[in-house]
Chains A and B, each alone.
Chain A
Amino acid sequence: MAKAPSRRRSTGEGGTLLDIRNLRIEAKIYPPGETPRKITIVDDVSLTLQRGKVLGLIGESGAGKSTIGLSSMGYGRGGVRITGGEVILNGRDIMKDGINGLRKLRGSEVCYVAQSAAAAFNPAHRLMDQVVEACLEHGTAKRAEAEKRAVALFKKLGLPDPENIGKRFPHQVSGGQLQRVMTAMALCSEPDLIVFDEPTTALDVTTQIDVLAAIKDAISDTGVAALYITHDLAVVAQVADEIMVLRHGKLVEWGDTRQIIKEPRQQYTNALVSVHHIDHREKKPGISTVLAVKNVTAAYGGGLIKVLKNVSVDIFPGQTLAVVGESGSGKSTLARAITGLLPPEQGSIEFAGKPLPRRLSERNKDELRQLQMIYQMADVAMNPRQTVGTIIGRPLEFYFGLRGKERDNRVAELLDKIEMGKGFIDRYPAELSGGQKQRVCIARALAAKPKLIICDEVTSALDPLVANGILKLLLELQAEEAVAYLFITHDLATVKSIADSIAVMYRGEVVRYGPKSQVLTPPFDAYTELLLSSVPEMEIGWLEKAIKTRRMESAGN
């Protein structure tokens, strides 16, 4: 269906490093109480990688991209097995070498950088011992030489105190730093190929950009080739020469980075590229507020750990306030304070002009009804032992006293609203897809006919296309039901497509707040600037530009 990119840039060192032909990977799964069966994870995928080049593997969860990446080391996780095709590295089929041959290749010719460096490092050993371990095992360098190389790599990757950081234990180093140490560990063996498996996905956006730049520099300086696996097209566009789009274990499209992001040939690629293009016109602030948070301060641990400091925001009827921030900014705590789960220490919260009791237990049924919540993890936000009908029907019963047929009709109506239909009424949450689960949670919130819904990272756990569908649905429902949203997220792209006004939070404070157009227009404060400039854009060369601007600014300050 797709061909290799026709136009290939001339390669300096030249030559094919990795040639995967008609790869087929299967896994045996053991569903409890059923007979084990085989499923196909990767189906007839072929790729070639030139020396010193970077190929991005992209796709949603279940696309088989990590599995393909690991197959270049002849490795399968769990019950995964390569059942067909050839993996040719440096001119030989690695699958024919047997386990001893594979062991010689792993950690010397091909190295791996995992998504969560925090878990991938052994907690019992110092970083340096782990970084040089592969070199020593394969005898490619003496210890002193390997350590010298490692320190040079630490320096190159911008780690603080490169001479001594190797003496630390994994838990003594931050997540972003650990990810760089892991990259240094891969580079230390001077391999021909590195497999990067979502190396920046677990990081905050402002940390991600630095790690990404460090990885990119290290790749180009050492001339190593790489398979870069990610679900984020904008990220891979910064580092890859070519991009391969995968779906359900099959190849969708393979091409030059520029071609993939500018002129995608397949419809699926196009959908991935244009995923954030939702046009949402900003509404003018209203006169009366549906929710007014005034100077709220909140703390955990009996007032010891302040997590919200003097926060004030307003939400207008039928509008969306997006609260943006990184982990630890206090954005989710704001939701807990508003719902009364964490009563504020100071300040007040007004709902539709009336003060709202601080504690959940002091609020009456109507106050509870008008303020609903949707969670990040739809799987755990629904009782697994209740059917969709019960889940959506309970608020109808509880708040409006609807029973029997009346209730069922309303549930069916709500299911139609979330574009699912009443066939789902008897299903259990485990029988729904991720997107469907989140839709049911939306219906449950809508059932209460609320004035305001708090959406806490509702799309972060979903694949981009599914997330997009949820955002569109939320906007449609807002137009129909005139419900207001408090939309909590770390993803600025989402904010742009849904918000009317924005509050940027940093370490428990609102550092910037106002209508969307105003918040996203310069001049910025330092943090908002950093945050905005850190969000990867689907544009070749964005990373260099962003880093350069950042350096200039820090030089100017």
Chain B
Amino acid sequence: MLDLKRIPLGAAIGLILTALFLFVAVFAPLISPYPMEQIVGDVWQPMSADYLLGTDNLGRDLLSRMIYGARTTIFIAAVATAISFILGSVLGFTAAVVGGWFDMLMSRFVDLLMAIPTLIFGLVVLSVLPTTVFTLIMVMGILDSTRVYRLSRAVAVDINVMDFVEAAKLRGEGTRWIIFREILPNALSPLISELGLRFIYAVLFLSALSFLGLGVQPPQADWGGMVKENKDGIVFGIPAALIPAAAIAALAISVNLVADWILNRTTDLKGGRGNG
């Protein structure tokens, strides 16, 4: 059982902030003081009681856009992570257990994809594809699934050669039992921790693309895009662009703290009670 008192401070902060971000993303329309696209005042007004974070480069309420931006950023990153995870882990486990030509072919292809830096390959592909949320999610999901594939294959290969799996094979168990009953329960904790890291990566990747003008397109608000919209204010001493940038950092750090904690709790195949 999870003992709440034993959560270290860092992980607790991470958990609380992550929950807060999720809450904001889910209930964006209820929380946000103004509609996302409404021009409510002058350009780059400072923080005030009316506009808690000031206004942006077109005079829209920055806080409202931040709140809707949380929704877009977290939604796209989460869906892309889900795709990369399902794709990567299913193929990785299958490659480890089935082996042979399937493993060979998949692993070489993944090596090839990973030989190109993700951002560069993303840019190359996005130079010909239409910039829609759908293509963004697919490109991010597929490119990132190579990392998940590597990890899940490595973990599964390690477990697959252990004596308890051999014992199950000698008993005559089928491939399904071996994957779901013997390997998966033991691979779960490194994978869950990796889930957190992949999500962070997806947030940072999406933000970078939007910042470069190749991700989410205006007038949709997302945090990376908001940095781009407001970056010209910086040289005039207007820190509006720093706020979405800081939000990205805060989200990434919180999830990182949680993932790190999960990884530390379950670094090895110690036991079933989940406290090993």
Contact = CB atoms under 8 A, between A and B. Distances in A.
Given A386-B272, A395-B171, A398-B171, A380 B6 contact: no
Given A429-B271, A430-B270, A431-B271, A32 B276 contact: yes
A383 B270 contact: no
B205 to A, nearest CB: 32
Nearest to A448: B171
B185 interface: yes
B166 interface: yes
A368 B267 CA distance: 35
Interface string B1-13: 0010010000000
Binding site secondary structure of chain B: helix
Given A384-B271, A385-B185, A430-B272, A32 B163 contact: no
**Size category of the binding interface on chain A:** 20 to 34
A341 B172 CA distance: 12
B116 interface: no
A339 B275 CA distance: 36
B166 A341 contact: yes
A337 interface: no
Contacts, number: 72
Nearest to B188: A385
A193 interface: no
**Size category of the binding interface on chain B:** 20 to 34
A33 B271 CA distance: 14
Contacts of B267: 32
A383 B177 CA distance: 13
B170 interface: yes
A398 B173 contact: yes
Nearest to B270: A430
A77 to B, nearest CB: 20
A377 interface: yes
A368 B167 CA distance: 11
B162 interface: yes
A375 interface: yes
Interface string A356-394: 000010010100100011010100111111110000001
A365 B172 contact: yes
From B163, B173, B269, name the one whose CB has the most chain A CB atoms within 10 angstroms. B163
From B166, B168, B185, B186, name the one whose CB has the most chain A CB atoms within 10 angstroms. B166
B270 to A, nearest CB: 5
A428 interface: yes
B10 to A, nearest CB: 14
Contacts of A383: 164, 168, 181-182, 185-186
A360 B169 contact: yes
A395 B171 CA distance: 7
A507 B163 CA distance: 24
A394 B265 contact: no
A429 B6 CA distance: 24
Interface in B145-184: 162-164, 166-173, 181-182
A341 B167 CA distance: 11
A384 B186 contact: yes
B105 to A, nearest CB: 21
A430 B271 contact: yes
Contacts of B272: 384-387, 428-430
Interface in B223-276: 264-265, 267, 269-273, 275-276
A399 to B, nearest CB: 8
A542 to B, nearest CB: 36
A242 B123 CA distance: 75
From A360, A395, A430, name the one whose CB has the most chain B CB atoms within 10 angstroms. A430
A368 B163 contact: no
Given A33-B6, A383-B185, A375 B173 contact: no
B133 to A, nearest CB: 39
Contacts of B168: 383
Contacts of A363: 172
Given A387-B272, A428-B273, 11 more contacts: A33-B6, A339-B170, A360-B170, A368-B170, A375-B167, A377-B163, A381-B163, A384-B271, A385-B186, A428-B272, A448-B171
25 contacts: A32-B264, A32-B267, A34-B6, A341-B169, A341-B170, A365-B172, A368-B171, A375-B163, A380-B162, A382-B164, A383-B168, A383-B185, A384-B272, A385-B186, A385-B272, A386-B272, A395-B171, A398-B171, A398-B172, A428-B273, A430-B270, A430-B272, A430-B273, A431-B273, A448-B171
Interface of A: 32-34, 339, 341, 360, 363, 365, 368, 372-373, 375, 377, 380-387, 394-395, 398, 428-431, 444, 448
